[in-house]
Amino acid sequence: MQNKRILVTGAAGFIGSNMVEELRKNNSVVGIDNLSNTDTRFIEPFLKDGSLTFHKMDILDLDSLISLEPVDLVIHFAANSDVRGGSDNPQFDFDVNARGTLNVLEFMRRKDVPEMIFASSSTVYGEPSQLPTPENYGPYMPISTYGASKMAGEGFITAYSHYYGFRASIFRFANIVGRNSTHGVIFDFIRKLMKNKTELEILGDGTQRKSYMHVTDCVGSILFLHERIVNTDIFNLGNESTTSVVRIADEVVKQMGLKGVRYRFTGGIDGRGWKGDVKIAQLAIDRMISHGWKNKYSSDEAISIAVGEVLHQIHR
């Protein structure tokens, strides 16, 4: 990935800011973000040294999108990432994740952009009967509006790709963790324990088990795989191993140097953390591996490193 002009949506966010940091070394990077979930602190160094051109912009504003100059590649990360809040405001998931993606595709169509990378999600599968879940599993039956909106985004991308001849890489993420995160289980546990060092509320029954991937592996695998495919394609991104919620809680407690913390489980529906929470999620990553990518960190290692990174950034 060199000498390209690249547009990154959601550039100031968790994965977007990590992607910008990697791309800026050898490319001309333009970032947009409406800053609704974050601010510019993660991309401030790149703004100062001029390696990132940034526009505060909402992907729901099609006119603003179309005002941007043409690019060689769009990396589309902008989304409403609050999976838990979907049951309270399903319209918002549709607007940002489905209609927003359609607007990005319209920008690509009108500016003749030939390539796209899209951040989808394991939530499109719903609660699959097959674990680990391969890319060709079906039918997709998402149990959250977040998953439904990501599935809609995928559909629009493959349709536009067929209509207008551009190449799209669609990546279904497991749970991504690491530096610059501003939400998620690690961030929530640390915040809760900073307020009360004796008790930790854990949503669900603690047996939820998912595959976690460090953000550096996520960014690296995206660029590695996109450069190696010829046609529009879909890849799972994750780890072969999984980590339980209790294991994450134990790691946070250990790295915060706390003793005797009591875990209080909320129970939830069938032990889930919230409505729409997939209790056990593990993606088959055979295709990712077959193309030559190998993660640096396992699921447990990703969690351990991410806890340290988030703690460092919170206390900085």
> Which residues are marked as active site?
146
How is 12-68 classified by DSSP, letter by letter? TSHHHHHHHHHHTTTSEEEEEE--SS--STTTHHHHHTTSEEEEE--TT-HHHHHTS
Element (H, E) at 172: strand 167-173
Q: How far apart are CA 31 and CA 53, in angstroms?
A: 6
Q: How many helices and strands (H and E) does the chain possess? A: 11, 14
Residue 166, judged by CB atoms within 10 A of its CB (0-12, 13-18, 19+), counts as buried
Q: Locate tokens 């690019």: which residue?
A: 71
The pair of structure tokens assigned to 183 is 């939400």
